[in-house]
Amino acid sequence: MKKLLALLLSALLSLTAVGALAEEAPLEFSYMTISSDTWNSEQLPMVELQARTNTQIDFITAPLDGYATNLQTMLATGDIPDVIQVRDKAQLSMLVDQGAILPIEDLLKEYGQNILAVVGEANYNAVRDADGHIYTIPFVGTTPLTKSWMMRKDWLDRLSLEVPTTWDEWVEVFKAFKEQDANGNGDPNDEIPFTAMDTSLLYTFDIAANDIFCVDPENHYTLIYEHPNYQAYLETLRDLYAQGLLDPEYLDRTGETKEAALTAAMANDLVGCCWTFMNNMHHVDAIEGAQYIYMAPPVSPYGTQTQPGRVLGVSDNAATISVAAEDKAIALIQFFDYIFSEEGQLLFSFGVEGVHFDYVDGEPRLRPEYTTDFNTYRAQGMNYQPIAHVWTGDAYVQVFTNGATFEEMDSVAQQFTIGAEKNEEYGIAVPPIFTTDAYSEYYADLGAQVKSLEANAVAGNITVEEFFAEYEKLKEEGLQEVIDQADEAWQAIQ
pLDDT of amino acid 316: 60
23's CB contacts (< 8 A; 6+ apart) are: none
Q: What digits encode the pLDDT tens for the residues 466-491?
A: 999 999 999 999 999 999 999 998 88
Domains along the sequence of the chain with CATH: 26-139+313-378 (3.40.190.10), 147-308+431-492 (3.40.190.10)
pLDDT above 90 coverage of the chain, percent: 69
Of 129-133, 269-273, 398-402, 488-492, highest mean pLDDT: 269-273
Q: Where are the beta strands (DSSP E) in 304-396?
A: 307-308, 318-321, 357-360, 363-366, 390-391
Task: Note the pTM of the prediction, 2 decimals.
Answer: 0.78
pLDDT at 120: 80
Model confidence at 312: pLDDT above 80: no
| pLDDT at 122 (0 to 100) | 63
Does residue 232 or residue 436 have the better pLDDT? 232
Rounded to whole angstroms, what are the CA distances from 317 to 32, 298, 309, 401, 428?
Answer: 10, 34, 20, 25, 23
Q: What is the pLDDT of residue 1?
A: 37
Work out the end-to-end distance of the chain between its first and last CA atoms, rounded to an integer number of angstroms.
Answer: 60
- Residue 255 confidence (pLDDT): 66
Residues 56-72, mean pLDDT to the nearest whole number:
93
pLDDT (0 to 100) of residue 313: 53
pLDDT digits (tens, 9 = 90+) for 78-134: 999 999 999 887 888 899 999 999 999 999 999 999 999 998 866 776 677 778 899
pLDDT band for 253, please (50, 70, 90 cuts): low
Average pLDDT over residues 338-358: 98
Instruction: Determine which helix (DSSP H) or strand (DSSP E) holds 194, and give its type and residue range.
Output: strand 192-196
> In whole angstroms, what is the distance from residue 209 CA to residue 200 CA?
8
Q: What is the pLDDT of residue 88?
A: 81
Decide if pLDDT at 280 tops 90.
Answer: no
